[in-house]
Amino acid sequence: MPSIENEFNGITNNPRDVRFRTLQRVAEAFGFELKRVRGSHHIYQRPGVPEPLNLQNVRGKAKPYQVRQLLALVAKYRLEIR
C-alpha cells in the first residue's frame, strides 16, 4: 500500500481520478474525523478548522471538487500529516 505522503502527492497531481477510500485516508491523516454520514455525504471535521469537509462516494470515486476542497483546506490552514 502506498504511503499517505505518496497518496497525497497523487491526489495533488490528479484530483480527477481519486478513489473515495484514498481520499478518506488522506483526510484522516490530516486530522479530520468522521462526524456523521447522511446518505452518501460523509461529514468530516477537524479541531482548529471551522469549515466542515463533505465527501461523497460516487461508485467508489471521490468528486473532483471535493478533492480540491480538501487540498484548499490543507493549504489554507497549513495542515500537516499527523
Q: Are strands 33-38 and 61-62 parallel, antiparallel or unpaired?
A: unpaired
* Gap between the Cα atoms of 63 and 20, Å rounded: 8
CATH number of the domain located at residue range(s) 4-76 in this protein: 3.30.920.30
pLDDT at 3: 94
What proportion of the chain, given as a percentage, has pLDDT over 90? 96
Q: What's the grid cell of residue 75?
A: 493549504
**pLDDT of 48-75, one tens digit each?**
999 999 999 999 999 999 999 999 999 9
Give residue 2's pLDDT band: very low, low, confident or very high (50, 70, 90).
confident
* Burial class, 11, CB count within 10 angstroms (exposed 0-12 / middle 13-18 / buried 19+): buried
